[in-house]
Amino acid sequence: MTMGDPSGVGPELALRAAVDRGIRGRADVRLVGSRSVFERAATGLGVALDAEVLDPGVDPGEVTPGLPSAAGALAAIEAVGRSARMCASGEADAMVTAPVSKAAIAGAGIAFTGHTEYLAGLVGVETVVMTFVEGRRRIALATSHVPLAEVPRVLTEDLILAKLAVLARWLDDWFGVREPRIAVAALNPHAGEGGWLGTEESRVIAPAIDRARSRGVNAEGPFPADTVYVGLGEPPGPSARPPFDAVLAMYHDQGTIPVKLRGFGAVNVTLGLPIVRTSPDHGTAFSIAGRGRADPTGMIAAGNLAAAIATRLGESA
């Protein structure tokens, strides 16, 4: 478990999750980051630092809760790199990342748009899929940290096809969903209304779905984004399976709004990596950092899911 930005809620969340009985019953948890940051967080929370700390040795400088710094950002990103290398070498089976500040990391001179893209670059993978998981609710993103104005340009047939292929394969490999059914959201209101409200559906999305289906991916759509999530994750009836096993959204907020409306209990999973990585579905929460008010539910859920995936992969190896 990485510490996240040392000025945010990451260190306290990682501490609370590392000692959670549920996680400890299924995994050997190590904290990765500055020992001094974790010690300060433990003192502030009034808890023992009852977990092994792997300190990469990058000085976070003077840490003030709520005030990110370049030094702290560098320490945070080094913890991510150290954890990824441990997973790639087999020293660890999974990694859980606490929230970092994209702006602070960029301010420290590192090109960084998010953990998803950064980890893909570290391990040399071209296509990864940011996916939010809460029980049987699984919502994936075709594009993630892209300015909204750029989405129509970035959204291509090849991109959607690649995302669908990764999503289908990893739902099977990591979650045991055989022949998953994937609903694909439209980009425009009313799925373009026959071209009156946009043509991306007919020019890009539908052809990508057709190509995916020709390759054995059970994808359907494009469906209007304001209705595609209805019933997702709900238990099936006596003789029926849920309508879809996952939804592929076209852009960030189209997928994350229906996730976060339900609170912050979902887990962000990076599909497509050769290593297991999860995280809570929220940010650094600088406004409450260092006050002991941060809710560890998301971090604990991320730890439990990482352990479950790693166990599944170990059993199937």
What is the DSSP annotation of 141-154? Answer: ESS-S--GGGHHHH
Which candidate, 278, 225, 255, 258, places its Cα nearest to that of 140? 255
Query: For the chain, what percent of residues have pLDDT higher than 70?
Result: 97
pLDDT of residue 197: 95
CB-side neighbour CA atoms (13 Å) of 111:
3
Q: Tell how strand 218-223 and strand 181-185 pair up.
A: parallel
Q: How far apart are CA 21 and CA 25, in angstroms?
A: 6
* Interval 152-202: pLDDT, tens: 999 999 999 999 999 999 999 999 999 999 999 999 999 999 999 999 999
Token pair for residue 29?
A: 């948890």
CATH class held by domain 1-125+273-317: alpha beta
Q: Collapsing DSSP states into helix, strand and coil, what is residue 309?
A: helix
CATH code, residues 127-272: 3.40.718.10
Measure the CA–CA gap between 59 and 61, rounded to whole angstroms. 5
pLDDT at 112 over 60: yes
Identify the bridge partners of residue 141 per DSSP, sorted by sequence position. Answer: 249
Q: At CA 99, angle to CA 282 and CA 113, rounded to 5?
A: 95
Least confident of 88-92, 108-112, 254-258: 108-112
Nearest to 30 by CA among 55, 54, 56: 54
For strand 277-280 and strand 267-271, is the pairing parallel, antiparallel, or unpaired? antiparallel
- For CATH 3.40.718.10, list the domain ranges present in the chain: 1-125+273-317, 127-272
**Main-chain dihedrals φ then ψ at residue 199, nearest 5 degrees:** -115, 0
What pTM did the predictor assign?
0.93
d(CA 163, CA 140): 9
- Angle 73-256-219 (CA atoms, 0-180°, nearest 5)? 125
Give the Å distances, CA to CA, from 17 to 29, 147, 300: 9, 33, 5
- pLDDT (tens digit, 9 = 90+) per residue, 272-306? 999 999 999 999 999 999 999 999 999 999 999 99
Structure tokens at 279: 């995280």
Mean of per-residue pLDDT scores for the chain: 94
**pLDDT attached to residue 30:** 96
pLDDT mean over 93-114: 93
Look up tokens 């980009």; give the residue: 187
